[in-house]
Chains A and B, each alone.
Chain A
Amino acid sequence: MDHTSLLERWLRRFALALIVTFFMFPIFWIVLMSLQTNETILRSPPSMAFVPTFDNYLAILAGRLDSNVASMGIDFLNNLMNSIILSVSSVAVALCLGVPAAYAFARHKFRGSEDIAFTLLSFRFAPPLLVLLPLTLYFQQIGLADTYLGLVWVYQLICLPLILWIVRGYFEDISPDIEYAYRIAGHSWFATFRKIALPLAGPGIAAAGLLAFIFAWNNFIFALVLASADKQPVTVGALAFVTASGIQYGQIAAAVVLSIAPTLALALWAQRYLVEGLSLGAVKG
Chain B
Amino acid sequence: MSYLDLSNIRKSFENETVLDGISLSVPEGGTLVLFGKSGAGKTVLLRTIAGAIDPDAGSVTIGGQDMTTVPPEHRGIGMAFQNFALFPHMSAFDNIASSLTSRRMSASEIKRKVQDVAELLKIDHVLTHTPKALSNGQKQRTALARALVSEPKVLLLDDPLRNVDAKLRFEMRLELPCLLADRGATVVYVTQDYKEAMALGERIAVLDQGNIVQIGSPEDIYKRPANTEIAQLFGDPTVNLLDVVPQEDERGLHAFLSDQRVDFHGDFPGVAGRDCIVGLRPEALSFTQNGGFPVTIEAVTPFNEKTVTLVTTLRGREILVSQPAQSTVPEGPEQNITISAQDAILFDRQTGKRLEPVTTGERVEEAA
Contacts and interface: CB of A to CB of B under 8 A. Distances in A.
Interface of A: 175-178, 180-189, 191, 196, 199-200
B73 A177 contact: no
Given A175-B85, A181-B79, 13 more contacts: A175-B83, A178-B87, A180-B81, A181-B81, A181-B85, A181-B146, A182-B87, A183-B52, A184-B50, A184-B72, A185-B150, A186-B99, A187-B98
What are the 3 A-B residue pairs with the smallest beta carbon separation, nearest first? A186-B102, A177-B85, A181-B85
A182 B88 contact: no
Interface of B: 47, 50-52, 71-73, 75, 77-79, 81, 83, 85-89, 98-99, 101-103, 146, 150
Nearest to B98: A185
A201 to B, nearest CB: 11
A199 B98 contact: no
A182 B88 CA distance: 12
B81 A177 contact: yes
A181 B144 CA distance: 12
Contacts of A187: 73, 98, 101-102
Contacts of B88: 178, 200
A246 B122 CA distance: 78
B102 A191 contact: yes
B85 A178 contact: yes
A177 B150 CA distance: 19
A184 B83 contact: no
Contacts of A199: 89
Contacts of B103: 186
A196 B101 CA distance: 14
B100 to A, nearest CB: 8
Most buried by A among B72, B86, B103: B72
B73 A184 contact: yes
Contacts of A191: 102
A185 B79 CA distance: 8
A206 to B, nearest CB: 14
A131 to B, nearest CB: 37
Contacts of B99: 185-186
Nearest to B96: A185
Contacts of A189: 71
- Max chain A Cβ within 10 angstroms of own Cβ: one of B51, B81, B87: B87
A184 B89 contact: no
